[in-house]
A = this chain, B = another copy of it.
Amino acid sequence: MAEDFIVTPWEVTGDIDYDLLAERFGTTAIDDKLLTRLSKYGEPHMMLRRGIFYSHRDLNIILDEYEKGNKFILYTGRGPSGHTHLGHIMPWIFNKWIQDTFGADMLFQFTDDEKFLFKQGATLADTRSMAYENALDMIALGFDTEKTKIILDTENIKTLYPIALKVAKKINLSTAKAVFGFDNTTNIGSIFFTSIQAAPAFLASEIAGRNIPCLIPCGIDQDPHFRACRDVAPGLGYMKPGQIYCKMFPGLSGADKMSSSDPMATIYTTDGPKEVKKKVGRAFTGGCVSVEEQRQKGGNPEVCAVFKYCYYLFEEDDRKLNEISSKCKNGEILCGECKIALTEKINTFLEIHQGKREKAKDVIGGMSFEGFKW
């Protein structure tokens, strides 16, 4: 397995060895014991069963507190650098499951400041308008409109800033360079930014005047932020936030992470049926070069982007998923058939999603933290 992959909040390259990554970051595997504990609250989500959400920090402590009646707040977010694609909504779907299962209040942070600072050529107007577009997708997934509040950094900065200052005072340049890999060419806003991403983890506690546990479900690429955030928490009198981390959603090209830098291998939530058909049609599969060979030798679902899409998002039924896998391996189905089936599943999902996304425009105003106006 390759060891030369890179995973940071701003860069994911190479073939990711997720176990090695968790080891490097120092996060803990979600083992059978923890899964059994989680099943007390309801059938574990398929992303847990399948090891997509596979690693954590302090989830047991968060559950201990929950059982003592000290409910946690959920916190996740999005860096609004472009339109929402399937890779973004995957962890959001999991967040909604956590919200439903535990009845959790939620803060959803859009880091328009971060994307402005890190993306060359981006304006604050760009990242703000992308945050709006992304928020519609988040809302369309069915988050509880009463329990979910949207933070837009530049709008809610007055509340975030004092917390961010306390965090920033505890992180020195040496730590920031070690954790994030900053160098002399990094701009000073980017260096400060992690303090702003830490702030929502402590916000509920600040407002309540007592420690409220916080659980952060998100991609494991965000761990550097939360490692820094956790390190400073005790010194500020806050409880360390817990994390539950997922793997990256794969690209249709077979890459380990779906990325807007390859739009033809990326399905956006606003794509129409024809675009989806075209993109899935070009997807990398585990099939053989000829029909004859595939009938004889079978395909390889493990490397197949089409299969991965079923695995990560589009086939919730474990039995049916295994059936697809077996049939592929036995040469009973061909890549073309799988592509047609996936295209249908995605288009069915997107049609419904796009309808809900339109309706989200009516409720987004009421979900803004502190009532900011979009």
Interface residues of A (CB under 8 A from B): 113, 116-117, 124, 154-155, 157-158, 161-162, 164-166, 168-174, 176-177, 182-192, 194-195
The answer on a CB contact under 8 Å between B162 and A124 is: yes
- Name 26 A/B residue pairs within 8 A (Cβ), A-sorted: A113-B161, A116-B169, A117-B165, A117-B169, A124-B165, A158-B158, A165-B189, A168-B189, A168-B192, A169-B187, A170-B187, A172-B184, A172-B185, A172-B186, A172-B187, A172-B188, A173-B173, A173-B182, A173-B183, A173-B186, A174-B184, A174-B185, A176-B188, A177-B184, A188-B194, A189-B192
Q: Tell me if B188 and A173 are in contact (CB < 8 A).
A: yes
Whether A189 and B169, one on each chain, are in contact in the complex, defined by CB atoms closer than 8 angstroms, is: yes
- 15 other A-B residue contacts (CB within 8 Å) besides A165-B189, A168-B189, A188-B191: A113-B161, A117-B165, A117-B169, A154-B161, A157-B158, A158-B158, A168-B190, A169-B187, A171-B187, A172-B184, A173-B184, A173-B186, A174-B185, A188-B194, A188-B195
What are the residues of chain B within 8 A of A164 when measuring CB–CB? 189
Distance in Å from the Cβ of A36 to the closest Cβ of chain B?
41
Q: Which residue from chain B places its CB closest to the CB of A117 in the assembled complex?
A: B169
Instruction: Say whether B185 contacts A173, CB under 8 Å.
Output: yes
A145 to nearest B CB, angstroms?
Answer: 25
A168 proximity list for chain B (CB < 8 A): 117, 187-190, 192
**A189 cross-chain contacts in B, Cβ below 8 A:** 164-165, 168-169, 192, 195
**Set B116, B155, B184: member contacting A165, Cβ < 8 A:** B116
Min Cβ gap A63→B in Å is 32
Contacts of A185 in B (CB 8 A): 172-174
A205 to chain B, nearest CB (A): 16
In the bound complex, residues from chain B placing their C-beta under 8 Å from that of A186 are: 172-173
Residues of the B chain whose Cβ atoms lie less than 8 Å from the Cβ of A176: 188
Within the complex, which residue of B173, B188, B195 is in contact with A171, where a contact is CB–CB below 8 Å? B188
Considering the chains assembled together, what is the distance between the CA atoms of A38 and B182 in angstroms?
47
Most chain B beta-carbon neighbours within 10 Å: one of A117, A184, A185, A187: A187
Partner of A161 from the list B161, B169, B184, B194 (CB cut-off 8 Å) is: B161
Residue in chain B with minimal CB distance to A228: B188
**How long is the Cα–Cα vector from A183 to B190 in the complex, in angstroms?**
17
Give min CB distance, A188 to chain B, whole Å: 5
Q: State the CA gap A154–B168 with chains docked (Å).
A: 14
A9 to chain B, nearest CB (A): 15
Expressed in whole angstroms, the minimum distance between the Cβ of A174 and any Cβ of chain B is: 4
The residue in chain B whose Cβ has the minimal distance to the Cβ of A164 is B189
- A169 / chain B contacts, CB cutoff of 8 Å: 116-117, 187, 189
Chain B residue nearest to A123 (CB atoms) is B166
The smallest C-beta distance from A191 to any residue of chain B, in angstroms, reads 5
Contacting residues, chain B, for A183 (C-beta < 8 A): 173
Question: How far is the CB of A286 from the nearest CB of chain B, in Å?
Answer: 43
CB contacts (< 8 Å) of A177 on chain B: these are 184
Q: Is the CB of B165 within 8 A of A191?
A: no
Shortest distance between the CB of A168 and any CB in chain B (Å): 3
Min Cβ gap A123→B in Å is: 9
How many Å lie between the Cα of A162 and that of B123 in the bound state?
Answer: 10
Most buried by B among A113, A165, A168: A165
Q: In the assembled complex, which residues on chain B have CB atoms less than 8 Å from the CB atom of A172?
A: 184-188
